[in-house]
Amino acid sequence: MTEFFLRNIVLIYFFYGLSFFSMGLAIMIELGHNSELDFAKALVPLAWFGIVHGGNEWFEMYLLMNPAFAGHPHNSWISPFRVFLLAASFMLLIAFGARLISGPARPALQWGMMFAVGAIWGIGLFELIVTPLPRGDRLVAADVYSRYALGIPGAALVVWGLILQRARFKEQGMKNYADALLVAAIAFGIYGGIGQLFTASSSVFPSNLINSSKFLQWFGFPVQLLRAAMATFAAAFIIHSLRVFDFENRRRIEALRQAQIEERRRLEETRAELLHRTVKAQEAERQRIARELHDETGQTLTALGLGLRGLTSSIHTNPERAEEQAKHLEKLAGNGLNELQRLVAGLHPPQLDDLGLLAALRWYINEIRGHYAINIKLTNQGDTQRLPIETRIVLFRIAQEALTNIVRHADTDQAEIHLECDSAQVRLHIRDYGKGFDVSSALSAQNRDPCWGLMGMQERANLIGADLEIQSIPDEGTQILVVVPIKEGIDV
């Protein structure tokens, strides 16, 4: 059996390198997906370790197949390069273990562990360089020392880090992937604790006592076979643990689906509440109109009827008194007509249909100025005269609601409205300099007393495909921007 393994040592090196190289390549491919897990970021040095260490073993396999290549006088760089490649791969393994241990919040700890191990290796390597040894023995000793000083500590850090990561996976409900990390940790432990302990015989202690020759003598197969087997196990279970990203994606998709369902439910509740409040507002408006018609117009018409009846009886007996009554009735009819016009204008300003949005805004601003001590500045740019009636109504109602909020809540005497129209869009910008408010809190679904006026503004904007943006800073004021795209074919 021993002779069989020795005859096929090249195949052992091939599968040894293939295991780690496949692991590195699989990790590289998987890291192309977006992941919020910190484990994904920690895997980057392990991926490079797999590629570099796999390449190192294939390089050593090539040297076994072509011993004359390494022994050529012009190729004296090969052995030092191979030691450098081995040390570089183990430093990447150390970086992986240190990253798992330190986590994302303690990068200084990660770099501190890497620096400590690297410094110890560098000091020992310097001593080997200055020690008077034959060149071939020095390179073998450097290889052995790199395995002792970097390979074994690197595997120990990886075992520690994988056990910590396993605990994190278990906390997140990913037990299957946590078990895969446990097997990978055991494989890395055997790979480093035993596989890198039995090296070529050299002057470095304890390789003069425990080495690959002793391993072959004791167990009947080369230590490279153990390394290859542990590399295969480690790679297989690390690759299996990469399925955690699929699990994470499924969980994120499910979370997004639940969020969409919750958002849809919230929107339905909001729409239902808005509809309920709209109906109530309509009923309240009907009551107000009925009351005003009864109190104002009804009384005026009653007074006109009584006055005309009195006028009929006195027109022949007392012409002068009849003339005075006629003038009084004319004045009374004029007042009634004004009240009726005011009532109609409050329901739908005729300026919107006859004169356009700008004229309707001027009328409403004058109405507010007549009742409240607020200076509202209105400016415009472009021609808004031929906007569609639906756009005019929505923009007017949004401005009406915004000005109502300014009157009720802003506690300010200054406000601005800017209306701008070009061939691509209409922009309505409303700004006050009042006390402001927290927009996210006001529009939050968790708010027990949501701002239905603001939600109504958003609903109105959605009706015409407009974008509505509300910005407010406490003690600095509020800005509302409505942008309505103009569809092709509409002449403005």
- Residue 152 counted as domain residue: yes
Q: Tens digits of per-residue pLDDT, 405-464?
A: 888 888 888 889 998 888 888 899 999 988 888 777 776 655 555 666 777 788 788 878
* Same domain (yes/no): 58, 186: yes
* Same domain (yes/no): 228, 80: yes
Which span out of 31-40, 262-271, 402-411 was modeled with the highest average pLDDT? 402-411
Nearest residue to 204 via CA among 128, 256, 135? 128
CATH number of 53's domain: 1.20.1070
The share of the chain scoring above pLDDT 70, in percent, equals: 82
Confidence of residue 297 (pLDDT cuts 50, 70, 90): low
- Residue 313 counted as domain residue: no
- Residue 258 counted as domain residue: no
- Residue 141 counted as domain residue: yes
- Residue 65 counted as domain residue: yes
Q: Which has the minimum average pLDDT: 103-107, 120-124, 159-163?
A: 103-107
Mean pLDDT in residue range 79-104:
91
Which is higher by pLDDT, 109 or 437?
Answer: 109
- Residue 131 counted as domain residue: yes
Q: Which pLDDT belongs to residue 105? A: 85
- Residue whose token pair is 């690297």: 118
Confidence of residue 152 (pLDDT cuts 50, 70, 90): very high
Q: Tens digits of per-residue pLDDT, 177-186?
A: 888 899 999 9
Confidence of residue 91 (pLDDT cuts 50, 70, 90): very high
Is the pLDDT at 347 greater than 50? The verdict is: yes
Could you tell me the residue range of the domain that residue 445 belongs to? 348-492
Q: Tens digits of per-residue pLDDT, 390-401?
A: 888 888 888 888
In the chain the first and final C-alpha atoms are separated, in Å, by 92
CB 155 within 8 A of CB 94: no
- Residue 382 counted as domain residue: yes
Q: Which pLDDT belongs to residue 407? A: 85
Q: Which pLDDT belongs to residue 100? A: 92
Confidence of residue 157 (pLDDT cuts 50, 70, 90): very high
**Strand 467-473 to strand 414-421: parallel, antiparallel, or no bridges (unpaired)?**
unpaired
* Same domain (yes/no): 178, 51: yes
Confidence of residue 387 (pLDDT cuts 50, 70, 90): confident
Question: Looking at 214, 242, 270, which one is the last position of a domain?
Answer: 242
Mean pLDDT in residue range 484-492:
61
Q: Which has the minimum average pLDDT: 148-162, 234-248, 394-408?
A: 234-248
Confidence of residue 282 (pLDDT cuts 50, 70, 90): low
* Same domain (yes/no): 64, 208: yes
Please provide the average confidence, as pLDDT, over all residues in the chain.
81
Which is higher by pLDDT, 490 or 145?
Answer: 145
Number of domains in the chain: 2
Token pair recorded at residue 171: 């906390």
Mean pLDDT in residue range 5-27:
84
The share of the chain scoring above pLDDT 90, in percent, equals: 18
Q: Tens digits of per-residue pLDDT, 195-222?
A: 999 988 888 889 888 988 888 889 888 8
* Same domain (yes/no): 227, 374: no
Question: Looking at 227, 242, 257, which one is the last position of a domain?
Answer: 242
Record the pTM: 0.57
CATH number of 440's domain: 3.30.565.10
Mean pLDDT in residue range 76-93:
89
Residue 242 backbone dihedrals phi, psi, to 5 degrees: -65, -20
Q: Tens digits of per-residue pLDDT, 356-378?
A: 788 888 888 888 887 787 888 99
* Same domain (yes/no): 487, 359: yes
- Residue 105 counted as domain residue: yes
Confidence of residue 341 (pLDDT cuts 50, 70, 90): low
Q: Which pLDDT belongs to residue 492? A: 41
Nearest residue to 200 via CA among 148, 162, 248? 148
Is the pLDDT at 34 greater than 70? The verdict is: no
* Same domain (yes/no): 230, 352: no
Mean pLDDT in residue range 116-139:
86
Is the pLDDT at 25 greater than 70? The verdict is: yes
